[in-house]
Structure 1
Amino acid sequence: MGTLSTHVLDTSAGRPAEGVPVELRSADGSLVGEGRTDADGRVGSLGPERLDAGDYTLRFDTATYFAASGTTGFYPEVTIAFTVADAGQHYHVPLLLNPFGYSTYRGS
């Protein structure tokens, strides 16, 4: 089934980003799932057991994470739009984060 996970790494600290609030929303903006990264920076399953094909966004509340670590960040949130093309696949969307930049890719 189409499932989703994420992993956030704080590249400036060289460790997982624990406690980052994450929201998954459908193309119409409806909340589909939410979670918070664990001690390993992961949300192992986000949203329903099956994600239908379509467009989604992941919103990472980076301001909360940076405030908890006493860091001032430039981006208070990171929003990643992506497309689930095959509802039978697992999708993994990692975020590499630092106070002044970020990058992402489709993981496995």
Structure 2
Amino acid sequence: MGRLTTHVLDTAHGLPGAGMRVELYRLGAERVLVAEARTNADGRCDRPLLEGAALVAATYELDFHAGDYFAARGLVLPQPRFLDVVTLRFGISDPAQHYHVPLLVSPYAYSTYRGS
């Protein structure tokens, strides 16, 4: 059974990105919200964002609310924030596989990759 998971690493502080709001959208004729979560103390969501029959081949976007996360940690950032909501667009071609989409983020940079 396939599943989609994520986690956040706060590279500015060298810690898991705990408490970050994450939204998952499926793209098609419209952008449809299909899951919402908040990362736990390990920077992971407590359960997969999608799994089983809910995971279908499609293009998706993950919105990570990084600006709010860093503000909640007490960082004073210029307004408007350089990074606020980090949106990652990716495709799922085989819903039977495990897709892991992590975010490594600081107030001024981010990276991602397809994890295992």
Calculate the TM-score normalised by the size of structure 2: 0.88
Superposed counterparts of 1:13-24, under 5 Å? 13-24=13-24
Match of 2:40, as an amino acid?
A: D
SS at match of 1:30: strand
Residue 8 (structure 1) aligns with = 8
Which structure's CA Rg is the greater one? 2
Deviations 1:26-85 (A, max 9, x none): 013111111000000001411354310010000001121011101125201100000001
Structure 1: how far apart are the matches of 2:114 and 2:72?
A: 27
Structure 2: how far apart are the matches of 1:62 and 1:98?
A: 8
| Identity percentage of aligned residues | 52
Residue 91 (structure 1) aligns with = 99
Superposed counterparts of 1:56-95, under 5 Å? 56-71=60-75, 72=77, 74-95=82-103
Structure 1: how far apart are the matches of 2:60 and 2:49?
A: 12
Calculate the TM-score normalised by the size of structure 1: 0.94
Alignment partner of 1:103 out of 96, 111, 115: 111
Structure 2: how far apart are the matches of 1:34 and 1:48?
A: 14
Alignment partner of 2:48 out of 45, 50, 54: 45
Structure 1: how far apart are the matches of 2:115 and 2:82?
A: 25
Residue 35 (structure 1) aligns with = 37
Return 5+ residue gaps in structure 2 as ranges.
none
